[in-house]
Amino acid sequence: MSSPPPSSSFAKRCSIFNGDNLRPLFKFSQLTQLHFEVVCTMTLTDKLVIDLGRALPCLEDLMLNGLYGCQTRSSVTFYGLFWLLALCPRLYEFGLAFDAEDLSAVNPTSDVPPEKRAPIPPPHDTSVLFVGDSRIRYPRKVATLLKDVFPRLSSIACWKESPDLPFDRDRAEEADLHRWRWKRVEEYMK
C-alpha cells in the first residue's frame, strides 16, 4: 500500500483550473503558504488574484503554476500582479504567470483611467521570481517596473517544460524567445 501524499500537497486532475478551484480557500485568512502546480490550463484573472490578496493577506509563499505556467496566455496583467503584491506585503516566495506585454496599467502616458492604474507595491524580499510561461515584449521596461518591487531579485525562472506536457515545435520556439527576453530582464536589474 502506498503512502498518501503529504498534507501540504494537493493533486488536481482536470483540463482547466480556474478561480472556482481557489475561492473555497479564501476563508482561511491566516494562510501563509499556497502552492498549486497543475499540468493543465490555468485561467486566472486580475480580479481573481486581487480577491486572493484581499482574502489571504498573510501569504508569504505563493505559487500558482509559477513553474510551468498557464498553458495559455495569462489574463493577469501588471494591474492584478501589483495589487496582489500590495495586498500581500510579506510575500517572499512568489510564482505566477502574467501578461508582461500589457503595460497599460503601469504606463503613465497611457489613456487608462486612474482607477485602472496599478498601485506601486512595497519592496518584497524575493530573490527568485517564477513567471511560468509569461509573455514579455519589452525587457528593459519590465526590468524598470520590477526593480523597485524586487530589489533583491537574482534570477527569474520561466518557460519550464513539464515531462507531462512537452512543448511542440511552435511552443518551443515561443519559449526560446520569451526565455531570452526574461534573461534580459535579469541582466537589466543587476
Describe the chain by its helix, strand, coil percentages, rounded to 5: 35, 15, 50
pLDDT tens-digit readout, 15-68: 778 888 899 999 999 999 999 888 778 899 999 999 999 999 999 999 998 988
Query: What are the structural domains, with CATH classification, of the chain?
Result: 30-189 (3.80.10)
Contact present, 36 and 65 (Cβ < 8 Å)? yes
pLDDT tens-digit readout, 144-189: 999 999 999 999 999 988 777 788 899 999 999 999 999 999 999 9
pTM above 0.85, yes or no: yes
DSSP 3-state of 50: helix
74 CB contacts (<8 Å, ≥6 apart)? 44, 97, 98, 99, 132, 133, 134, 135
| Closest CA relative to residue 81, chosen from 47, 31, 126, 110 | 47
